[in-house]
Structure 1
Amino acid sequence: MAVKKLSESFCKISSEVVQKWGSMKQTGVSLRYMMDFGSNPTDKNLLISAQFLHKELPIRIARRAIELETLPYGLSEKPAVLKVRDWYLESFGELRSFPDIKDSSDELAFTQMIKMIKVRHNNVVPAMALGVQQLKKDLNPKVLPGDLEEIHQFLDRFYMSRIGIRMLIGQHVALHDPNPQPGRVGHIHCKMSPMEVAENASEDARAICLREYGSAPDVNIYGDPDFTFPYVSSHLHLMVFELVKNSLRAVQERFMNSDNDVPPVRIIVADGVEDVTIKISDEGGGIPRSGLPKIFTYLYSTAKNPLEEKTDLEGATEGVIMAGYGYGLPISRLYARYFGGDLQIISMEGYGTDAYLHLSRLGDSQEPLP
């Protein structure tokens, strides 16, 4: 069925057109530019933004569609990956067939369309994860995750590009909000408190830990509660949530049958000149050195795999995709790198793990465009 649908898509858009757009140069934007531009969402600015996206989005989407055709080890043929490719081609076709944007009514129609494109792509991460799982089942067990370097590099590019596409669409759509939250420019929080985001993300992670184990270690947060800087708080929430969730699980499992006091997870927020660094420390026993290279691959997880239980992608939501199939850490690192930061994990086997989340506070770095 997927293949049939694809050939229908290709009737509407020839592969030459996709190739042509995919070979065009992408244009990156910085957090600071998004903030400056969006702080005055006049009709004229919204029109300029829509005209930019009308040309930029098909280039980015075409690049991913082309890559989805040529993945190694037969990954391109997996049903879940064919489905993702269909979504990309459909979105490319819609963007290309949308006429030039000349006035506000064109701009509003375009905004509605890209809003629907964003929804269509909600389940790309679980779909790709399912495709990789299907591939893992078929592969010779002698092929180790390290041998699948090409697939890891593709997924890094693919998900980084997806973060950028969703940020651009989300930012443009949010500028239409008739009652924007004070201190926000679209998705960007001009005076975001990393302490506050860390508290909320920790509470969410503890709730999951409580649900799963019946109890959860404490999380202690240290830093200046008055310190703020411009950032996308939903990105930071996602990263801190993922790191704290991993720490809670490690501590909980290590001390589950112990009479000793359960040590808290500690979060330290440091405000530097160039970077804001958030350190998340646990005493969950650490990761053996041989396991460290695996933690940023897409084929490794110590948790139970939810995809084996649930293969219906239509019902999945963006919220549940971070738990259990080994994607939390590599995707969190991409979110950090998207605005010029990084994520590092340092482990002491037999004691615990420190995660260092570096966030660039200058806001000038261009999107890394794969």
Structure 2
Amino acid sequence: MALPYLASAARRAIERGLAEEIKKCSLMKQTGVSLKHMMEFSLHPSDNYLLFSAQFLHKELPVRLAHRVTELENLPHGLSSQDEVLKVRDWYVDSFRDLRTFPDVQDSKDELKFTELINQIKMRHNNVMPTMAVGIHKLKQALGRKQGLNELPEIHQFLDRFYMSRIGIRMLIGQHVALHDPKPLPGYVGLICTKVSPVIVAQNAIDDARCACMRTYGTSPEVHVYGDPSFTFAYVPTHLHHMVFELVKNSLRAVQERYIDSDHDCPHVRVVVADGLEDITIKISDEGGGIRRSGLPKIWTYFYSTAQTPVDGPQIQELPSVMAGYGYGLPISRLYARYFGGDLQIISMEGYGTDAYLHLNRLGNVQEPLP
């Protein structure tokens, strides 16, 4: 049953000609790329390569944006008329228009102007995730207790597609823009580091998660890391940091809250990094009491969170630590893992603790899972 959403702001109609162009592009096939492809073609970013990359993005980005605008226009339960969703839709429409009105990229001068444009588009979309989170939270409030958290599969499927597409768009733009850095970090090809140490990245994410735990509780359980810090592989360090931070943060909170009134010391969280032929697997294990088997499906939904939702707080920024409370941590982390051919699994023992298995494809040969 559709909900009678009434947007407080007038719905901005898309100009007819632009709407027809969006529809035309939304019927075109998206072109996926792999981590290996991005890295190999970016190793020596000559003017010719940057020109080729800009020409590809000039054609590809409007297609991806058009797919998302079409979905945002046709959401169930009145979401398409909800203020926050309309705001996000308008950002996508504006970016589509900017790209379609930009002339063909024919030389290095055009390429530099195009790079400036897509960087502005990336910044325009910085707050898409928290803005959508507020809109979805309002849907959850409107539903109240009348429907369960898992009774809207179409909303969760849409959000999976929407955020997977968003990861891809930001990766393509970020990679192209980063190749213009006059002083790239050693071992980096754009956003990709050819020698990422998962142990070192995990340790940095652990330090950040423990700081967040200390800010909330005044203390934090210890985290022990097992693995070879000298082992490296090609990956995007920011993606890896985000996933490990989220998983460790959840474990720390579970352990801390279970033992907050106990006379016993908090058991430490264990992080194990294993190097396989196809996958690098990171296991995060805690003794935080676990999750009920009936509750496990809920952890992958965008409506479920055990933390307080900061929807009424100050203006939110797109940071993992602030996103706690929207129920986005685990599903978004799984999308990051799947984007380059990995996965995220959660196995829990109620009454004891939880193990999270983060699988990362070390071959880099899997194309983006485009929605």
TM range (shorter): over 0.9
Is 1:125 aligned with 2:168? Answer: no
Counterpart of 2:38?
Answer: 34
Counterpart of 1:207?
Answer: 211
Counterpart of 1:169?
Answer: 173
Counterpart of 1:6?
Answer: 12
Q: Distance in 1 between matches of 2:24 and 2:360?
A: 36
Counterpart of 1:234?
Answer: 238
Q: Post-superposition shift, 1:305? A: 0.2
Q: Post-superposition shift, 1:261? A: 1.9
What residue ranges of structure 2 are gaps of 5+ in the alignment? 1-6
Q: Distance in 2 between matches of 1:281 and 1:297?
A: 22
SS at match of 1:26: coil
Q: Post-superposition shift, 1:141? A: 2.2
What TM-score results when the alignment is normalised by the length of structure 2?
0.96
Structure 1 letter corresponding to 2:186: P
1:171-186 equivalent positions in 2, closer than 5 A: 171-186=175-190
Q: What do the CA deviations read for 1:151-186 (whole angstroms, capped 9, x no partner)?
A: 000000000000000000000000000001110100
Counterpart of 2:150?
Answer: 146
SS at match of 2:307: coil
Structure 2 letter corresponding to 1:289: R
Q: Distance in 2 between matches of 1:35 and 1:322?
A: 30
Counterpart of 1:342?
Answer: 343
Is 1:83 aligned with 2:77? Answer: no
Counterpart of 1:264?
Answer: 268
Counterpart of 2:4?
Answer: none
Q: Distance in 2 between matches of 1:293 and 1:343?
A: 13
Structure 2 letter corresponding to 1:187: L
Counterpart of 2:47?
Answer: 43
Q: 2:280 aligns with which of 257, 276, 283?
A: 276
Q: 2:28 aligns with which of 2, 24, 29?
A: 24
Structure 1 letter corresponding to 2:353: G
What TM-score results when the alignment is normalised by the length of structure 1?
0.96
Structure 1 letter corresponding to 2:80: S
CA contact (8 A) 1:343 1:357 kept: yes
Q: Number of aligned residue pairs: give it.
A: 365
Q: Post-superposition shift, 1:12? A: 7.5
SS at match of 2:150: helix
Is 1:223 aligned with 2:224? Answer: no
Q: Post-superposition shift, 1:318? A: 3.9
What residue ranges of structure 1 are gaps of 5+ in the alignment? none
SS at match of 1:146: coil
Q: Distance in 2 between matches of 1:270 and 1:128?
A: 36
SS at match of 1:189: strand
1:37-76 equivalent positions in 2, closer than 5 A: 37-76=41-80
Q: Distance in 2 between matches of 1:162 and 1:364?
A: 20
CA contact (8 A) 1:123 1:318 kept: no
CA contact (8 A) 2:309 2:326 kept: yes
Structure 1 letter corresponding to 2:95: S
Deviates more, 1:221-230 or 1:128-137: 128-137
Q: Distance in 1 between matches of 2:304 and 2:221?
A: 25
Q: Post-superposition shift, 1:2? A: 8.5
SS at match of 2:15: helix
Structure 2 letter corresponding to 1:337: R
Q: Distance in 2 between matches of 1:202 and 1:350?
A: 24
Q: Post-superposition shift, 1:320? A: 4.6
SS at match of 1:73: coil
CA contact (8 A) 2:288 2:352 kept: yes
Q: Post-superposition shift, 1:13? A: 4.7
Counterpart of 1:354?
Answer: 355
Structure 2 letter corresponding to 1:215: T
Q: Distance in 2 between matches of 1:50 and 1:100?
A: 10
SS at match of 1:14: helix
Counterpart of 1:328?
Answer: 329
SS at match of 2:359: strand
Is 1:193 aligned with 2:194? Answer: no
Q: Distance in 2 between matches of 1:102 and 1:170?
A: 21
Q: Distance in 2 between matches of 1:208 and 1:4?
A: 40
- Would you tell me which structure has more helix in proportion to its own residues? 1
Q: Distance in 1 between matches of 2:149 and 2:79?
A: 14
Is 1:305 aligned with 2:314? Answer: no
Q: What do the CA deviations read for 1:104-153 (whole angstroms, capped 9, x no partner)?
A: 11000000010010011011111111111111222252211211100000
Q: Post-superposition shift, 1:209? A: 0.2
Percent of aligned pairs with the same amino acid: 65
Q: Distance in 2 between matches of 1:174 and 1:136?
A: 38
CA contact (8 A) 1:78 1:135 kept: no
Q: Distance in 2 between matches of 1:343 and 1:350?
A: 22
Q: Post-superposition shift, 1:277? A: 0.1
Q: Distance in 2 between matches of 1:319 and 1:281?
A: 20
Q: Post-superposition shift, 1:356? A: 0.1
Q: Distance in 1 between matches of 2:284 and 2:192?
A: 24
- In 2 relative to 1, CA 97–318 (structure 1 residues): closer, same or farther, beyond 3 Å? farther
Q: Post-superposition shift, 1:11? A: 2.6
